[in-house]
Amino acid sequence: MGIGKSATGSIVAIAPGALALACTASVDPAAVVMAVEANLRDQGLEVSSVSCPEAGLPVRCEATLSDETVVAMSVARVGDGDGLTISSVDPIVVVARLVPEVRAKLEDVGHAVDSVRCEGQVWRTGAGAVGRCEMTDQDGARWVYEATFSGAGSQHRAKIYAAEHEPGGQGVAPG
């Protein structure tokens, strides 16, 4: 999949094959950790820590983001050992990249957006997964943007509704 736009939405996803790095035949475990951190930071994510077992390649590393979300990353050799491929184990979407879409959806129905706050830094995009953002328009009205993913990359269906009509009346948790 790589990084790109979906057919039904403009969310950008990280999926297998997201980054290839040049390296020597022998890989230093600290270099693998640094490469995973760099990969995630290049996607605009705030990384608190990365841990990788020192058992060689391929390896599964776990990155903890600043919002305490844990993202599993796979690191493997490319071909005969000339490089590394770093990718998320589960397809995810970088939330900051979808904020323009969220704003546009509310503006499309005639509301000037004052602020957008979304849950977390990343959303998982498996079938049935849901990601939510809360928006405030310039009149102070609160709106909820909800994306339900199909499991086919970043394809999703989005809906917007007034926050006072939200089931349970709860807003988006601070992200």
Instruction: Extract long-range pairs of 129-134: CB within 8 Å, 24+ residues apart.
Output: 131/93, 131/95, 131/156, 132/172, 133/95, 133/99, 133/102, 133/172, 134/163, 134/171, 134/172
Distance CA 152, CA 164 (A): 31
- Which of 64, 36, 66 minimizes the C-alpha distance to 49? 64
Q: What is the DSSP code string of 78-105?
A: ETTTTEEEEEESS-EEEGGGGHHHHHHH
How far is residue 91 CA from its own chain's centroid?
8
Six-digit token string for 62: 């776990």
pLDDT attached to residue 164: 83
| pLDDT > 90? residue 173 | no
Q: pLDDT by residue (tens digit) across 111-170?
A: 999 999 999 999 999 899 999 999 999 999 999 999 999 987 778 899 999 998 665 544
Q: pLDDT by residue (tens digit) across 8-32?
A: 333 333 443 344 443 334 678 888 9
| pTM of the predicted protein model | 0.70
Residue 14 burial (CB count, 10 A): 28
CA distances, 3 to each of 17, 75, 109, 155 (Å): 9, 17, 29, 13
Q: pLDDT by residue (tens digit) across 33-55?
A: 999 999 999 999 999 999 998 77
Instruction: Categorize the per-residue pLDDT at 62 as very low, low, confident or very high, splitting at 50, 70 and 90.
Output: very high
Are 114 and 138 a contacting pair, CB within 8 Å?
yes
Are 99 and 116 a contacting pair, CB within 8 Å?
yes
Are 56 and 70 a contacting pair, CB within 8 Å?
no
pLDDT attached to residue 166: 60
Q: What percent of the chain has pLDDT over 70?
A: 77
| Average pLDDT for the chain | 80
Distance CA 37, CA 85 (A): 13
Mean pLDDT calculated for residue range 77-92: 82
